[in-house]
């Protein structure tokens, strides 16, 4: 174990420079985010992930954000265990009817100010599951959404771009 | 002797490939259940149609599969679950989706509590084709009675970045007396979306049945379609499929090994395997243009060949794994505080994995020597040499070791495939206008065997498709594994199973 630990200290870092924030995401946010609310947050966001019926592909890539290459915590982005601790809900999936109530309750349990980021093609409009008796459709049909991140699933870089856009926007308006 | 020789049947369906499907009467249906109860056959799948139910069964000793079909125009069928518990959730699902009612003697009354139906769809029996409504009642968990018992309700929204499901623990102090799962939260109606879809759209749905097993599902779906259409896939396409399947296995096993250790608070392993997982996904992205390799395996072959810089990327990946992974194995093996958490925790009994036909590391860690790649030897695994690790401790530790050994085998397999692949065609076009035909296929995903069954109409559209994840037969065993363990060890046990919610909720 000692060798592995020492090597981690002496070898260069794997963590890659941050990608530029997504310009279209910034524009989307500029139109939506409430100016007054932003003053209350530092350059730090607590994120609660909610799987509203995804195929679990998006979860895999959201997980990857925490690995040594992307290391989201360096930007002040943290995944938290409860919506009570969260500033941001990161929602995936076509919102199955069986998850709709749980999603609403999670949203209501999140204190203001809060943002909702819909992740992946399903979360935007139901994706390939649209039209099923068991799916509501996009996340915005159930709770208000501030930002969409496209992709099936979006790569960790896509996710990082979107989240950085959110972070930049929040801190720029302080 | 074939499976159907011992099961009286009316007739065999001619267009079902590669294994037979036979229509049976009640006597045949009961005879099939007898064979399951005795343990001579293993239940592989159990699914419905508006007026019929089908059971796929495996004879492990002869590697033979057969499907029996019971027509139920009156809407009832003899219950399988009341005699053979592994069928229970599948039977409840058939009732939820098709409204068919399992029938049994009064003393064996079948469990008809809803499974996927959470009374949120706005309709009952969505695939039955009729407008019936069901009496909705609050879900009733099984009772656990005793002094000082308390309940802990977890989910559907969990604390980690994982899929939704509900766990109801009955505990005495720290010790779990009973765990009952209630899933179905991610039910997307995949079987209904499949109906009428063309092959391309249906393959996309198959890819997204459980995203972590996209390749395995696409592979199973494609092989079922190819069996139905009776077409051969070019040799190179088969190798490319296996290459992707093994990359997918590597990525998932790396993720799981790290995550299990992380649930025992050993973050170092998680960080290191996270690096290997990321490197695997990046190599997959370079080689096949998508990190999870979705939509590359298609009926008839593969949609794209490996990119020119894919080969060096894969060779570099293998070199890196060979350099780093042995040290991580040593780290796992020599960290006593970690072993203290994993050894003897969450034991799954060998009898249960046999009875349930549990696949993947859950079965193989408890002595069930089954791997679809070897037992059924589908192409190209019939031309590759590899070992199937089997252990019999059945604890979290054994499930970690199965994964470790499988990583080593997958690395070997990828090296073999890279050596054997020759230039050539990568796709066979599906024949136009072949009449109604049916196919069945099994592939080995990282967590166990995936079954795909489908019926195509004359215009190559899916008339009916059923996909069965390995998790169906693993989830119930997690309920048994946690019994007598402490609640604090549940995340560890759960992660060592890593069952799919989406794959089993459909």
- pLDDT at position A6 is 82
| Shortest distance, CA A159 to any CA of chain B (angstroms) | 14
**Which residue is associated with the tokens 């420079």?**
A17
- Across the interface, whether the CB atoms of B185 and A155 are under 8 A apart is answered no
Closest residue of A to B333, CA-based? A1
- The C-alpha of A33 sits at a distance from chain B's nearest C-alpha, in angstroms, of 25
In B, minimum Cα distance to A82 occurs at B159
Whether B212 and A98 lie within 8 Å, measured CB to CB? no
What is the mean pLDDT of the segment spanning B282-300? 97
pLDDT of residue A34: 42
Q: How confident is the model at residue A33 (pLDDT cuts 50, 70, 90)?
A: very low
Structure tokens at B104: 């049994």
The structure tokens 């954000």 sit at A65
Question: What does the domain layout of chain B look like in residue ranges?
Answer: 3-108, 190-468
pLDDT digits (tens, 9 = 90+) for A104-145: 999 999 999 899 999 999 999 999 999 999 999 999 999 999
Q: Which residues contact B323 (CB under 8 A, 6 or more apart)?
A: none
Q: DSSP code of B141?
A: P
Cα separation, B116 vs A132, in Å, equals 14
CA A106 to chain centre: 15
pLDDT of residue B283: 98
Strand B175-182 versus strand B297-298 pairing type: unpaired
Provide the residue count of chain A: 174
- Per-residue pLDDT averaged across B76-84, rounded? 95
Residue % of chain B over a pLDDT of 90: 89
Cβ–Cβ gap A99/B327 under 8 Å? no
Q: What is the mean pLDDT of chain A?
A: 86
- CB–CB contact B211 A58 (8 Å): yes
B184 at A interface, C-beta within 8 A: yes
Residue scoring higher pLDDT (B188 or B434): B188
**Given A1, A132, A155, which is nearest B335 (Cβ)?**
A1
Interior CA angle at B309 toward B307 and B313, to 5°? 110
pLDDT of residue B132: 81
Q: What is the pLDDT of residues B424-476, one digit of tens each?
A: 999 999 887 677 899 999 999 999 999 999 999 989 999 999 999 999 999 99
Percent of residues, chain B, with pLDDT higher than 70? 100
Place A38 in a pLDDT band, splitting at 50, 70 and 90: very low
Cα–Cα separations (whole angstroms), residue A1 to A6, A67, B341, B401? 9, 19, 18, 19
**Cα(B34)–Cα(A113) distance, integer angstroms:** 61
φ, ψ of residue A96 to 5 degrees: the values are -65, 150
Confirm if B501 and B164 have CB atoms less than 8 A apart: yes
Q: What is the pLDDT of residues A41-83, one digit of tens each?
A: 566 889 999 999 999 999 999 999 999 999 988 888 899 999 9
Q: Which residues in A lie closer than 8 A to residue B208 (C-beta atoms)?
A: 55, 57, 128-129, 152
Q: Across the beta sheet with B52-59, what order do the strands follow? A: B11-12, B21-24, B64-71, B52-59, B42-49
Whether the predicted pLDDT of A1 surpasses 80: no
CA–CA gap between residue A108 and residue A100 (Å, rounded): 12
Name, in order, each residue with C-beta under 8 angstroms of B344's C-beta and a sequence gap of 6 or more: B395, B397
Query: Which among B163, B187, B275 has the least Cβ separation from residue A68?
Result: B275
For residues A96, A94, B183, B79, the Cα torsion angle rounded to the nearest 10 degrees is 70
Residue A25's pLDDT is: 65
List B residues 98-127 in contact with A (Cβ-Cβ < 8 A). 116, 118, 120-123, 126
Q: How far is CA B69 from CA A147, B342, B356, B464, in A?
A: 49, 43, 20, 14
Characterise B232 by phi-psi region: left (phi > 0), alpha (psi -120 to 50), beta (else): beta
Chain B residues closer than 8 Å to A82 by CB: 159
The two tokens of residue B125 are: 């029996």
CA-to-CA dists, residue B68 to A17, A32, B220, B221, B343, angstroms: 58, 57, 20, 20, 41
Cα–Cα distance list, B301 to A9, A148, B47, B211, B223 (Å): 46, 34, 27, 20, 9
**pLDDT over threshold 90, residue B289:** yes
Provide the phi-psi class of B253: left if phi over 0, else alpha when psi is between -120 and 50, else beta. Answer: alpha
Beta-bridge mates of residue A45: A77
Give the tens place of pLDDT for each residue, B357-374.
999 999 999 999 999 999
Confidence of residue A37 (pLDDT cuts 50, 70, 90): very low
Is A131–B193 a contact, with Cβ atoms under 8 angstroms apart?
yes
Q: Which helix (H) or strand (E) holds B338?
A: helix B336-342
Q: Is the confidence at residue B88, as pLDDT, over 50?
A: yes
User: Stretch B115-136: mean pLDDT, rounded?
Assistant: 90
Among A10-24, B254-268, B321-335, the least confident range: A10-24
User: Which CATH number fits the domain B3-108, given the four candidates 3.30.460.80, 1.10.1060.10, 3.30.950.10, 3.40.190.10?
Assistant: 3.30.460.80
Segment among A13-22, B82-91, B148-157, B413-422 with least mean pLDDT: A13-22
Round the average pLDDT of chain B to a whole number and report it: 95
Domain ranges of chain A: 42-169
Instruction: Please report which confidence band the pLDDT of residue B105 belongs to, taking 50, 70 and 90 as the band edges.
Output: confident
> Going by CATH, does the domain composed of A42-169 fall within 3.40.50.12280?
yes
Residues on chain B touching A135 (C-beta within 8 angstroms): 188-189
Q: What pLDDT does residue B374 have?
A: 96
Contact B212 A4 (CB under 8 A): no
Could you read off the pLDDT of B312-332 as tens digits, one per residue? 999 999 999 999 999 999 999
With cut-offs at 50, 70 and 90, classify the pLDDT of residue B2: confident
How many other CB atoms are there within 10 angstroms of residue B4's CB atom? Answer: 21
Task: Determine the Cα–Cα distance for residues B411 and B318; give it in Å rounded to an integer.
Answer: 6
Q: What is the pLDDT of residues B32-58, one digit of tens each?
A: 999 999 999 999 999 999 999 999 999
Reading the block at residue B239, the tokens are 């190798």
Please enumerate, by residue number, every residue of B annotated as part of a binding site for Mg(2+). 191, 467
Burial class (CB in 10 A: 0-12, 13-18, 19+), A11: exposed
Here the tokens at position B358 are 């549990």
Binding annotation of B = 191, 467
List, for residues B372-421, the tens digit of each pLDDT value. 999 999 999 999 999 999 999 999 999 999 999 999 999 999 999 999 99
- Per-residue confidence (pLDDT) for residue B415, from 0 to 100: 97
Q: Taking a C-beta distance cutoff of 8 angstroms, is the pair B195, B202 a contact?
A: no
Of A14, A53, A81, the CB nearest to B188: A53
| Chain B residues within 8 A of A68 when measuring between CB atoms | 271, 274-275, 278
Residue of B nearest to A14 (CA): B275
The CATH number of B190-468 is: 1.10.645.10
Total-model pTM: 0.94
Residue B1: band (very low, low, confident or very high) from pLDDT cuts 50, 70, 90: low
Residues B230, B227: Cα–Cα separation, whole Å: 5
φ, ψ for residue B314, nearest 5 deg? -70, -40
Asked whether the beta carbons of residue B271 and residue A62 sit closer than 8 angstroms, the reply is: no
| pLDDT value of residue A35 | 45
């Amino acid at each position: 174990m000692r060798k592995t630990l020492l090597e981690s200290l002496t070898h260069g870092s794997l963590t890659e420079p941050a990608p530029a924030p997504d310009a279209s995401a910034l524009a989307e946010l500029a139109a939506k985010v409430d100016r007054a609310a932003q003053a209350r947050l530092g350059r730090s966001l607590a994120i609660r992930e909610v799987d509203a019926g995804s195929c679990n592909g998006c979860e895999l890539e959201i997980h990857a954000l925490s690995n040594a290459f992307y290391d989201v915590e360096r930007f002040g982005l943290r995944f938290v265990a409860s919506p009570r601790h969260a500033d941001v809900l990161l929602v995936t999936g076509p919102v199955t009817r069986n998850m709709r109530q749980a999603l609403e309750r999670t949203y209501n349990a999140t204190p203001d100010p809060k943002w909702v980021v819909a992740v992946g093609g399903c979360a935007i409009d139901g994706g390939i599951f649209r039209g099923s008796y068991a799916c509501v459709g996009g996340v915005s049909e159930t709770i208000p959404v501030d930002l969409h991140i496209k992709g099936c699933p979006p790569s960790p870089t896509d996710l990082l771009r979107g989240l950085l856009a959110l972070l930049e926007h929040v801190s720029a308006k302080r | 002797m074939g499976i159907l020789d011992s099961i009286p049947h009316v007739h065999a369906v001619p267009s079902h490939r590669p294994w037979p499907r036979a229509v049976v009467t009640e006597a045949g249906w009961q005879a099939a259940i007898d064979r399951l109860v005795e343990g001579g056959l293993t239940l592989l799948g159990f699914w419905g149609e508006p007026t019929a139910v089908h059971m796929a069964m495996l004879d492990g000793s002869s590697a033979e599969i057969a499907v029996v079909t019971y027509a139920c125009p009156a809407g009832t069928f003899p219950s399988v679950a009341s005699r053979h518990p592994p069928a229970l959730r599948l039977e409840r699902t058939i009732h939820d989706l098709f409204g068919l009612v399992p029938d049994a003697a009064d003393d064996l009354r079948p469990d008809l509590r809803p499974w996927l139906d959470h009374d949120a769809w706005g309709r009952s029996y969505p695939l039955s084709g009729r407008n019936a409504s069901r009496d909705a009642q609050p879900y009733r968990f099984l009772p656990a009675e005793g002094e000082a018992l308390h309940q802990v309700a977890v989910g559907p929204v969990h604390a980690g970045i994982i899929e939704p499901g509900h766990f109801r623990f009955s505990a005495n102090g720290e010790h779990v007396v009973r765990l009952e799962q209630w899933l179905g939260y991610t039910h997307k109606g995949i079987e209904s979306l499949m109906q009428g879809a063309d092959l391309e759209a249906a393959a996309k749905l198959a890819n997204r049945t459980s995203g972590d097993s996209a390749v395995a599902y696409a592979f199973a779906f494609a092989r079922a379609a190819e069996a139905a259409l009776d077409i051969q896939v070019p040799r190179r396409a088969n190798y490319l499929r296996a290459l992707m399947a093994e990359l997918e296995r590597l990525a998932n096993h790396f993720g799981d090994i790290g995550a299990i250790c992380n649930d025992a608070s050993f973050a170092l392993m998680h960080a290191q395997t996270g690096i290997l997982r990321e490197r695997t996904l990046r190599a997959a992205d370079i080689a096949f243009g998508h990190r999870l390799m979705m939509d590359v395996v298609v009926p008839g072959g593969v949609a794209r060949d490996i990119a020119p810089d894919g080969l060096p990327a894969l060779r570099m990946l293998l070199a890196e794994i060979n350099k780093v992974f042995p040290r991580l194995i040593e780290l796992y093996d020599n960290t006593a505080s970690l072993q203290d958490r994993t050894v003897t925790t969450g034991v799954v009994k060998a009898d249960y994995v046999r009875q349930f036909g549990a696949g993947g590391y859950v079965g193989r860690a408890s002595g069930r020597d089954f791997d679809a790649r070897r037992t059924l030897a589908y192409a190209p695994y019939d031309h590759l040499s590899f070992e199937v690790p089997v252990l019999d401790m059945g604890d979290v530790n054994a499930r970690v070791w199965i994964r470790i050994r499988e990583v080593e085998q997958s690395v070997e397999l990828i090296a073999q495939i890279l050596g054997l692949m020759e230039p050539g065609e990568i796709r066979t076009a599906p024949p136009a206008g072949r009449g109604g035909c049916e196919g069945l296929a099994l592939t080995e995903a990282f967590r166990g065997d995936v079954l795909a069954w489908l019926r195509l109409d004359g215009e190559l559209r899916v008339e009916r498709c059923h996909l069965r994840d390995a998790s169906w037969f693993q989830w119930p065993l997690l309920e048994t594994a946690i019994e007598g363990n402490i609640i604090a060890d549940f995340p560890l046990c759960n992660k060592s199973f890593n069952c799919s919610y989406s794959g089993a909720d459909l």
